[in-house]
Amino acid sequence: MVVGEAVIAAGIGCKRGASGVEVSAAVETALETHGLEMTALSALATARMKQGEAGIIVAGAALGLPVILVDEAALKEMEARTLSQSAQSLAVTGTPSVSEAAALAAAGEGSRLLGPRIVVGNVTCALAIGGDGA
């Protein structure tokens, strides 16, 4: 990433045991939805509680992207800015949309979602832009 370039983070939420292929497919679908190429992404992001989800780690490695683990406090700070509300996500994680909150937190101050999360099978993905693109 070049200094001054916009940071675009792909926030990931998933059911336990989602595969790397499923996570990658959700990221690719989100990018296509917003007319972006894979090279536009700076990182994947998810809740710290999902640090053991091999599918997210595998997808990050396959896509050549770092995986940012967002702590619960940062997710809570982003809640009011999410566009989607999932009763299941709220019950399991305490956050109405892990993918949206994680994307916003990882994209940095002044970030904004490019749209609501997309759902592909067992995975949700939301894109947020920060930096010069927010």
**Could you tell me the pLDDT band of residue 93, with boundaries at 50, 70 and 90?**
confident
* Mean per-residue pLDDT over the chain, rounded: 90
**In this predicted model, which residue has the larger pLDDT, 97 or 18?**
18
Length of the chain: 134
Domains contained in the chain, CATH given: 7-133 (3.30.420.180)
DSSP alpha helix (H) spans, the chain: 20-33, 54-63, 72-78, 87-93, 98-107
